[in-house]
Copies of this chain bind each other. A is one copy, B any other.
Amino acid sequence: MLVVMKMEATVSEVEAVVRKAEDNGLKAHPIPGAQRTAIGITGNLGVVEPTAIEALPGVLEVLQVSHPYKLVSREFKPDDTIVDVGGVQIGGRDLVIIAGPCSVESYEQTLGIARRVKAAGAHILRGGAFKPRTSPYSFQGLGLEALEILARVREETGLPVVTEALDIDVLDAVAEYADMVQIGARNMQNYTLLRRVGQCGRPVLLKRGMYATLTELLLAAEYILDQGNGQVVLCERGIRTFTDHSRNTLDISLIPEVERISHLPVVADPSHAAGKRNQVLSLSQAAVAAGADGLMIEVHNAPEQALSDGLQALLPDEFDALVGRLRDLASVVGRNIPTFASSA
């Protein structure tokens, strides 16, 4: 921590900062400069709120040097974490494709799409049971019925299943039925839910809030790891910006930064970022080229009849073509898209 004093700060104000640090068992290193004094503070910084120092007289600002997360950092655990979802490994050399409809609408619809995406090369089935909807008047998901449908479709196809736990009420049910529990973007800072999912015994797909910095995303994951659950996959799904040609802006640079800072795998969700089918292909390719460990893509056999987000779902034929393209791309960046036999 670096404490920057105001130009007009007095000697006794500098001393008060030093004392405050030492009272908390920290070391203070004053650096007198031409214009002003700065004070480096070292030790276990977790014991003191930076604002407690920033509020002292004569202090101009406090700069944080070390990052507030620990368990998720590569400095703490240098080796890549590999997350196992019903036998599918995320975070290793394999590039994992998660695909399926936005919402589970019926057994027939879900099974049909699951068979199609499996044939095309997908490894994990996605499908919303509980849907977070901006309007109370929109379709809210089939709920428990959808969980049962997903379980039956898994039995039919062998595809592990990921679906969102919308709140702590339904978390147990989701963890019972699904192979991986998704925490949605709107819940990235729902700390109660994060703690509970850290105790649920299932791997977690943690989506970045559309307003969240990388540090905030990593701290959300830290809540989960802090409860003993290290099986967390981060998901970049687009941030909110001023642009209007896509629903959100896929923040590709997050992918190499996560790789550099954290040992957790990171996948991309180009469907929700784009909000438009025609961008999904390009963004999927971009995410793989940038080093993503996997993709989550919405596929629907009849998008114009979808109960939610039909506009961004790929048609099965488009998905076939995309996976073909991704196979070639993956090999260029040193990855491999396994055929289902090898991962099931």
Contacts and interface: CB of A to CB of B under 8 A. Distances in A.
Interface of A: 2, 4, 7, 20, 29, 31-36, 38, 40, 42-44, 46, 49, 51-56, 63, 65-66, 68-69, 75, 132-139, 166-169, 186-187, 189-193, 195, 209-211, 213-216, 219, 222-223, 226, 239-246, 249-257, 260, 273-274, 278-279, 281-283, 285-291, 303-311, 325, 328-329, 332-333
Given A68-B137, A289-B289, A242 B245 contact: no
Nearest to A333: B285
Given A34-B43, A65-B38, A136-B223, A311 B51 contact: yes
Identical copies in the complex: 4
A54 B276 CA distance: 10
A282 B240 contact: no
A329 B42 contact: no
A309 B51 contact: yes
Contact of A311 (B4, B54, B215): B54
Contact of A243 (B49, B186, B213, B305): B213
Contacts of A36: 65-66
B2 A38 contact: yes
Given A55-B310, A304-B55, A310-B51, A252 B283 contact: yes
A273 B195 CA distance: 27
